[in-house]
């Protein structure tokens, strides 16, 4: 007798459990949620396309979305309804939707009539259904939910009348089929509110060609409002958008519309519900239902909002004052301003401009600072030059004293002689007259020495005057004559043969010459007397104005030559080493240059040169 093997039994149990689990898993993986959208109208109606877009945007990709179109008002009637019902029932028998969406009032009405034969247990979301229509249904089942919409015809007309204060005629265009007539009835009711502001005229159910002709005859006192139409008075079918486009193209008055799908086809605008937003809203409800929410428990907004939409090109075309357009209006087709369009470029340009302005400001500040610094340097230089002149005057004290003593001594002896003549009692008036003349001449000589000295050492403002270089050199000779005699040096002054005009500070140029001459006299101090001659030559020729100070002294050692113009360079026991450095500063401030070279017969030559261009216009020592 076979015995039961407990291992085999438990293995079977495990196998069975595994199969069940696998089946359950594969069933879950294969279960795709189904959503069916049933539209009232036909496939290409812009409102349907937008609504579908909103739905697809919101519902997860894993959900299968199917769409059916009742294609009202082109197809209708009981037999049509019966055929569609049969078709839908059979088509979706094996794949019934988890949620049904009805788009538009026609689809909702159809569902309410045929729900029991179609999808009795399936929750329904309505989309794009007017609140007034919902209110007209005696008892809406609790598992049919959605956010209603209400077209804001009155709001649009009210705005339009404000924007066209001259408009006295409100022309309303509607169509011929049931849906069109519903709009007409509603509009006939609503226009009564505008009595007193405009007279309402209905162009209802006209053949399109007649209608367009009428619209083309409107004057400035008119404005048009239309919800579009599905069918005209001649039985031609349209989408409301297409009908509105034809009207806007033909009308000689601004046209306003009721749906956002009309924006961009030539109408000015209107207070409109948005079909894409309706699709998104319905999609969110579908998601909640698919996640197991009970329809009756959903908390939904009372109504879809309407927004004021305007086409900027039409605002311009009809000369509407943009100030009357409310700030919250959505403005379409407004070309961005230059700044908006080239924002980045404009920011870059502004940044470059600011940077440039900053740089310019910085440069101006820098320039001003430099100018202050230059003025300070110039002031110091002028003070140094003055100090140097005082030093020179000090060096000349002995000779100056001698120069003054000479006329003073002569005056004294002449005064003594005059006293003796007077005491003698003789009438020697002519002699006395001569003596007095001598005294006067000597006095003038003495005061001339004092004047020259004062001129040299006085502190003065820098001048920029034309002066004759020959005269300036002669004055220098007068100042130094006594000193040269004292040192037994001959001054050989050779002036230019023509008037030689420099523009600048005469005292400063004289100071340069005095320095050069004193240096030259120092250099010849130790050479035999026959070589103690200093020659000063002034020339004015093609090279410009030149001065040469030539001596036959000890000369300058080649190693010292590069240093002699440096401040504080001196080979003398008592030397300060400032004379040549100040001389170079002053000459250069007058637009010239100064240098030293070996003399042809020993000694040294100092040359100063002002090129022709600068001789009549020596730059001011004042910084520019």
Which chain residues interact with ligand ADP by CB under 6 A? Answer: 515, 519-520, 523, 551, 553, 555-556, 560, 564, 569-572, 575-581, 604
Residue 565 is classified by DSSP as T
- List, as one string, the DSSP characters of 505-526: -HHHHHHHHHHHHHHHHHHTTT
Q: In angstroms, give the least distance from the CB of 553 to ligand ADP.
A: 5
What is the Cα–Cα distance from 172 to 476, expressed in whole angstroms?
111
Write the CA distances from 464 to 384, 406, 450, integer angstroms: 19, 36, 25
Q: In angstroms, give the least distance from the CB of 359 to ligand ADP.
A: 42
User: Exposure of 240 by Cβ count < 10 A (0-12 exposed, 13-18 middle, 19+ buried)?
Assistant: buried
What is the Cα–Cα distance from 620 to 614, expressed in whole angstroms?
11
Residue 327 is classified by DSSP as T
Query: Do 246 and 208 contact (CB within 8 A), yes or no?
Result: yes
Q: In angstroms, give the least distance from the CB of 505 to ligand ADP.
A: 19
Q: In angstroms, give the least distance from the CB of 516 to ligand ADP.
A: 7
Q: Which is nearer to ligand ADP, 227 or 579 (CB)?
A: 579
Q: Which is nearer to ligand ADP, 250 or 564 (CB)?
A: 564
Q: Which is nearer to ligand ADP, 606 or 610 (CB)?
A: 606
Contacts of 219 (CB under 8 A, 6+ apart): 252, 253
Expressed in angstroms, the distance from the first to the final Cα of the chain is: 132
What is the Cα–Cα distance from 458 to 507, expressed in whole angstroms?
10
What is the Cα–Cα distance from 168 to 187, expressed in whole angstroms?
17
Q: In angstroms, give the least distance from the CB of 619 to ligand ADP.
A: 24
What is the Cα–Cα distance from 39 to 127, expressed in whole angstroms?
9
User: Exposure of 144 by Cβ count < 10 A (0-12 exposed, 13-18 middle, 19+ buried)?
Assistant: buried
What is the Cα–Cα distance from 520 to 511, expressed in whole angstroms?
14
Query: Do 289 and 302 contact (CB within 8 A), yes or no?
Result: no
Closest CA to 244 of 233, 259, 252: 259
What is the Cα–Cα distance from 281 to 32, expressed in whole angstroms?
22
Q: Which is nearer to ligand ADP, 145 or 578 (CB)?
A: 578
Region label for 539, one of left (φ > 0), alpha (ψ between -120 and 50) or beta (otherwise):
beta
Per the structure block, which two tokens stand in for 485? 């005699």
Q: In angstroms, give the least distance from the CB of 613 to ligand ADP.
A: 29
Q: In angstroms, give the least distance from the CB of 587 to ligand ADP.
A: 13
Q: In angstroms, give the least distance from the CB of 361 to ligand ADP.
A: 43
Torsion of CA 612, 617, 621, 624, to 10 degrees: -120
Q: Which is nearer to ligand ADP, 46 or 577 (CB)?
A: 577
Q: Using N-to-C axis directions, what is the helix angle for 208-215 and 240-250, rounded to 10°?
A: 40
What is the Cα–Cα distance from 376 to 393, expressed in whole angstroms?
26
Q: In angstroms, give the least distance from the CB of 364 to ligand ADP.
A: 38
Q: Which is nearer to ligand ADP, 292 or 558 (CB)?
A: 558
What is the Cα–Cα distance from 151 to 106, expressed in whole angstroms?
16
Q: Coil, helix or strand for 613?
A: helix
Q: Which is nearer to ligand ADP, 263 or 520 (CB)?
A: 520
Measured at CB, which residue is nearest to ligand ADP?
579
Q: In angstroms, give the least distance from the CB of 494 to ligand ADP.
A: 17
Q: In angstroms, give the least distance from the CB of 574 to ligand ADP.
A: 8
Q: Which is nearer to ligand ADP, 46 or 555 (CB)?
A: 555
Q: Which is nearer to ligand ADP, 102 or 523 (CB)?
A: 523
What is the Cα–Cα distance from 97 to 119, expressed in whole angstroms?
8
Phi (first) and psi of residue 65, to 5 degrees: -110, 120
Q: In angstroms, give the least distance from the CB of 567 to ligand ADP.
A: 8
Closest CA to 540 of 612, 435, 459: 612
Q: Which is nearer to ligand ADP, 223 or 549 (CB)?
A: 549
Q: In angstroms, give the least distance from the CB of 474 to ligand ADP.
A: 21
Q: Which is nearer to ligand ADP, 204 or 514 (CB)?
A: 514
Q: In angstroms, give the least distance from the CB of 486 to ligand ADP.
A: 18
Q: In angstroms, give the least distance from the CB of 479 to ligand ADP.
A: 17
Exposure pattern of 191-212 as b/e (b: 16+ CB <10 Å)? Answer: beebeeebebbebbbbebeebe
Q: Which is nearer to ligand ADP, 500 or 519 (CB)?
A: 519
Residue 118 is classified by DSSP as S
Q: Which is nearer to ligand ADP, 285 or 578 (CB)?
A: 578
């Amino acid at each position: 007798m076979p015995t039961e093997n407990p291992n085999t039994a438990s293995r079977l149990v495990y196998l069975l459990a595994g199969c069940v689990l696998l089946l359950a898993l594969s069933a879950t993986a294969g279960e795709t949620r189904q959503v069916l959208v049933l539209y009232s109208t036909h496939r290409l109606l812009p409102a349907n396309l937008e609504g579908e877009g909103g739905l697809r945007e919101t519902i997860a990709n894993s959900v299968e979305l199917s769409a059916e179109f009742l294609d009202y008002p082109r197809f209708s009637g009981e037999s049509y309804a019966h055929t569609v019902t049969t078709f839908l029932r059979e088509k979706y028998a094996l794949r019934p939707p988890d949620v049904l969406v009805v788009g538009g009032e026609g689809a909702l009405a159809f569902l309410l009539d045929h729900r029991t034969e179609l999808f009795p247990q399936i929750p329904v979301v309505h989309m794009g259904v007017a609140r007034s229509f919902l209110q007209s249904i005696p008892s809406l089942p609790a598992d049919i939910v959605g956010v209603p919409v209400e077209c804001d015809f009155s709001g649009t007309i009210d705005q339009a009348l404000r924007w066209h204060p001259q408009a006295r005629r409100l022309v309303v265009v509607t169509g011929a089929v049931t849906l069109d007539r519903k709009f007409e009835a509603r509009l006939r009711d609503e226009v009564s509110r505008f009595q007193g502001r405009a007279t309402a005229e209905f162009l209802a159910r006209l053949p399109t060609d007649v209608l367009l002709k009428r619209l083309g005859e409107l004057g400035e006192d008119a404005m048009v409002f239309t919800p579009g139409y599905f069918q005209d008075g001649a039985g031609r079918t349209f989408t409301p958008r297409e009908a509105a486009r034809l009207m806007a193209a033909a009308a000689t008055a601004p046209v306003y519309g009721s749906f956002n799908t009309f924006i961009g086809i030539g109408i000015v605008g209107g207070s409109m519900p948005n079909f894409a937003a309706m699709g998104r809203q319905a999609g969110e409800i579908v998601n909640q239902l698919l996640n197991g929410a009970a329809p009756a428990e959903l908390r939904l907004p009372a109504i879809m909002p309407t927004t004021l939409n305007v086409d900027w090109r039409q605002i311009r075309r009809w000369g509407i004052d943009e100030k009357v357009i409310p700030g919250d209006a959505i403005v379409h087709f407004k070309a961005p301003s230059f700044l908006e369009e080239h924002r980045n470029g404009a920011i870059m340009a502004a940044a470059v401009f600011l940077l440039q302005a900053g740089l310019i400001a910085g440069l101006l500040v820098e320039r001003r600072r430099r100018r202050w610094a230059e003025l300070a340097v110039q002031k110091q230089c002028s003070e140094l030059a003055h100090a140097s002149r005082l030093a020179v005057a000090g060096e000349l004290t002995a000779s100056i004293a001698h120069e003054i003593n000479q006329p003073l001594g002569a005056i004294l002896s002449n005064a003594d002689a005059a006293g003796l003549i007077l005491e003698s009692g003789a009438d020697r008036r002519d002699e006395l007259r001569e003596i007095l003349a001598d005294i006067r001449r000597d006095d003038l000589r003495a005061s001339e020495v004092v004047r020259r000295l004062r001129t040299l050492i006085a502190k003065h403002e820098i001048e920029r005057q034309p002066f004759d270089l020959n005269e300036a050199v002669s004055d220098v000779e007068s100042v130094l004559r006594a000193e040269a005699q004292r040192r037994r040096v001959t001054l050989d002054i050779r002036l230019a043969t023509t008037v030689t005009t420099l523009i600048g500070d005469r005292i400063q140029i004289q100071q340069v010459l005095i320095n050069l001459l004193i240096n030259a006299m120092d250099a010849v101090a130790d050479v035999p007397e026959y070589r103690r001659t200093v020659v000063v030559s002034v020339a004015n020729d093609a090279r410009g104005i030149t001065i040469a100070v030539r001596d036959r002294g000890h000369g300058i050692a080649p190693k010292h030559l590069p240093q002699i113009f440096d401040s504080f360079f001196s080979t003398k026991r008592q030397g300060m080493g400032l004379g040549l450095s100040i001389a170079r500063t002053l000459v250069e401030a007058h637009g010239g240059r100064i240098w030293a070279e070996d003399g042809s017969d020993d000694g040294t030559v100092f040359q100063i040169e002002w090129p022709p261009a600068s001789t009549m216009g020596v730059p001011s020592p004042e910084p520019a």
